[in-house]
């Protein structure tokens, strides 16, 4: 089913990406082969284990940037079921002992009888940017920088907050929810326009993407800015690939679908093409897909870099047999990841530049993790938080400076001083990192599926 890099068929479709991933020395074909054959199957199985399937998250935070969060998710499938204590592994049950009992779900999250997909005309507001964000941002960041523990973090972790609850990720899969319209658009718009350095996203005044591309905005930015943009765009692409790959459909047109009591789900080629084809995206779709590979390579490298630390983790859930299996499975996947032939080289970043650039990079990413509290659909918020926390954890590993002794020799990273005493990872960081990487990995896998359908 998957072809080795040298046997890849004649390229035809827009999603048949050629050459190297931008700003990396690694080819798309290498990632496809390595991911689809070696990494994805291992990760898929690992992420079903008790240690990795339960994620502690606070989905009840108020949006720090604007008051009128629209809960525009139109389907009952947007709702997240949190775990009851009895369903959790022993180790995690202790963790919620003194927590207040779960609140009843808010009615606004459950709009079972609404029409699928919210088709509100949001275009009239597309250009509006909420200016209050900057002031708010400032306050939030001020608080953040006063918080010692958080100094080397790139994202907000809310697992310690009072209203945080365990969620079983396997029972709440990331898939099409119908979340769209003004609310979803405002989140992406804010991420690109407010929080990024210079994004090629256009406002309505700028006539088209084509025109924007002529200005080559991205090419003119420095590496760090491009990395930032590519990470976010890669995450965005991954989310949109997933919603096309796990789309609600009827039995009739879905031989590949999975039947469950919550509906019939499966890949929707039309949806994928509509989101990424050159015709509908002014040729940008291909670049967004390439950014997915970029984000993948950054997280892959972070896991390789933190491998010595992870090899000392117990992955304790209180069930001896399965904990041992998880340790073996993690070790196996770390071996595969470390042997990847062409890792992203983070040492090229933040060299000889003003230290403020690194801080700015961290602060901007921190804001992106905070914007997730403004997402008006529970399930999208859950996966948005998990993936930004995973990405933030990867950035912390790469840029917190606690692995400075890692050197690149003959294209292989050598870790002289594997773990510094002051480098610590929380359980939620490990869970988020692996699950976030799992999302990117599965997007690349689904991309192959769509490619094959288009051939």
Ligand X SMILES: Cc1cc2nc3c(=O)[nH]c(=O)nc-3n(C[C@H](O)[C@H](O)[C@H](O)COP(=O)(O)OP(=O)(O)OC[C@H]3O[C@@H](n4cnc5c(N)ncnc54)[C@H](O)[C@@H]3O)c2cc1C
| Binding stretches for ligand X (CB under 6 A) | 174, 176-177, 179-180, 184-185, 187-188, 201, 233, 236-237, 239-240, 243, 288, 372, 375, 379-380, 383-384
Closer residue to ligand X in complex, CB, 203/359: 203
Tell the smallest beta-carbon distance from residue 271 to ligand X (Å): 9
Tell the smallest beta-carbon distance from residue 62 to ligand X (Å): 16
Closer residue to ligand X in complex, CB, 224/271: 271
Tell the smallest beta-carbon distance from residue 20 to ligand X (Å): 19
Cα 109 to Cα 130, 159, 172: the distances in Å are: 24, 21, 15
Residue 110 in tokens: 């459950």
d(CA 132, CA 86): 43
Torsion, Cα 34 336 26 309, to 10 degrees, reads: 140
Cα 251 to Cα 104, 148, 256, 266, 453: the distances in Å are: 33, 53, 9, 10, 18
Closer residue to ligand X in complex, CB, 172/317: 172
Closer residue to ligand X in complex, CB, 177/435: 177
Contact 302, 402 (CB under 8 A): no
Contact 394, 361 (CB under 8 A): no
Closer residue to ligand X in complex, CB, 36/240: 240
Residue 371 in tokens: 């914007």
d(CA 129, CA 270): 31
Tell the smallest beta-carbon distance from residue 98 to ligand X (Å): 31
Closer residue to ligand X in complex, CB, 24/184: 184
Closer residue to ligand X in complex, CB, 51/179: 179
Tokens 């949109």, residue located: 240
Closer residue to ligand X in complex, CB, 14/315: 14
Could you write out the DSSP letters of every residue in 142-185? Answer: HHHHT-GGGGG-SS---TTSTT-EEEETTTS--------HHHHH
Tell the smallest beta-carbon distance from residue 265 to ligand X (Å): 11
Q: Which residues, including other chains, have CB under 8 Å from residue 408's CB and lie 6 or more apart? A: 345, 347, 414
Closer residue to ligand X in complex, CB, 323/378: 378
Closer residue to ligand X in complex, CB, 50/268: 268
Contact 271, 247 (CB under 8 A): yes
Tell the smallest beta-carbon distance from residue 34 to ligand X (Å): 22
Could you write out the DSSP letters of every residue in 246-288? Answer: SEE--GGG-TT-EEETTEEEE--HHHHHHHH-HHHHTT-HHHH
Contact 382, 75 (CB under 8 A): no
Closer residue to ligand X in complex, CB, 243/431: 243
* Cα distance between the two ends of the chain: 13
Tell the smallest beta-carbon distance from residue 127 to ligand X (Å): 13
Tell the smallest beta-carbon distance from residue 173 to ligand X (Å): 9
Contact 443, 44 (CB under 8 A): no
d(CA 22, CA 293): 9
Q: Which residues, including other chains, have CB under 8 Å from residue 31's CB and lie 6 or more apart? A: 21, 293, 296, 297, 444
Tell the smallest beta-carbon distance from residue 73 to ligand X (Å): 8
Tell the smallest beta-carbon distance from residue 314 to ligand X (Å): 32
Among 69, 9, 442, smallest CA distance to 244 is for 442
Tell the smallest beta-carbon distance from residue 194 to ligand X (Å): 13
Query: How many C-beta neighbours within 10 Å does residue 163 have?
Result: 14
d(CA 357, CA 380): 30
Closer residue to ligand X in complex, CB, 229/315: 229
Tell the smallest beta-carbon distance from residue 372 to ligand X (Å): 6
């Amino acid at each position: 089913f998957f072809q080795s890099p040298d046997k890849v068929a004649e390229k035809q479709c827009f999603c048949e990406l050629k050459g190297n991933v931008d700003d990396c020395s690694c080819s798309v074909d290498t990632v496809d082969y390595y991911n689809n054959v070696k990494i994805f199957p291992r990760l898929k199985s690992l992420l079903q284990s008790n240690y990795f399937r339960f994620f502690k998250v606070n989905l009840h935070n108020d949006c720090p940037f604007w008051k009128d969060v629209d809960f525009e998710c139109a389907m009952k499938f947007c709702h997240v079921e949190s775990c009851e204590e009895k369903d959790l592994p022993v180790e995690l049950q202790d963790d919620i002992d003194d927590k207040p009992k779960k609140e009843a779900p808010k009615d606004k999250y459950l709009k079972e009888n609404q029409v699928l997909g919210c088709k509100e005309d949001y275009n009239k507001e597309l250009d509006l940017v909420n200016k209050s964000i900057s002031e708010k941002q400032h306050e939030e960041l001020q608080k953040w920088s006063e918080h010692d523990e958080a100094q080397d973090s790139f994202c907000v972790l809310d697992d310690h907050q009072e209203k945080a609850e365990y969620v079983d990720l396997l029972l709440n899969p990331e898939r099409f929810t119908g979340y769209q319209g003004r609310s979803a658009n405002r989140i992406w718009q804010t991420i690109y326009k407010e929080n990024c350095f210079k994004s090629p996203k256009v406002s309505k005044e700028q006539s088209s993407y084509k025109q924007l591309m002529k200005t080559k905005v991205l090419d003119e930015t420095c590496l760090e800015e491009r990395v930032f943009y590519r990470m976010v765009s890669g995450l965005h692409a991954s989310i949109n690939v997933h919603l096309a790959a796990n789309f609600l459909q009827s039995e009739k047109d879905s031989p590949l679908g999975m039947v469950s009591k919550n509906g019939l789900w499966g890949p929707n080629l039309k949806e994928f093409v509509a989101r990424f084809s050159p015709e509908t995206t002014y040729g940008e779709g291909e670049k967004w897909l390439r950014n997915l590979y970029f984000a993948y390579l950054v997280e892959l490298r972070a896991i390789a870099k933190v491998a010595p630390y992870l090899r000392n983790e117990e992955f304790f859930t209180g069930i001896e047999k399965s904990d041992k299996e998880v340790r073996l499975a993690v070790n196996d996947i770390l071996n595969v990841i470390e042997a990847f032939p062409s890792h992203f080289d983070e040492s090229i970043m933040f060299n000889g530049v003003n230290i403020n650039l690194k801080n700015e990079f961290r602060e901007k990413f921190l804001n992106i993790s905070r914007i997730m509290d403004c997402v008006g659909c529970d399930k999208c918020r859950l996966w948005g938080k998990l993936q930004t926390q995973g990405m933030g954890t990867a950035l912390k590993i790469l840029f917190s400076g606690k692995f400075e002794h890692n050197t690149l020799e003959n294209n292989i990273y050598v870790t002289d001083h594997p773990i510094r005493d002051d480098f610590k990872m929380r359980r939620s960081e490990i869970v988020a990192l692996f699950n976030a990487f799992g999302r990117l990995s599965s997007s690349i896998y689904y991309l192959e599926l769509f490619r094959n359908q288009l051939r």
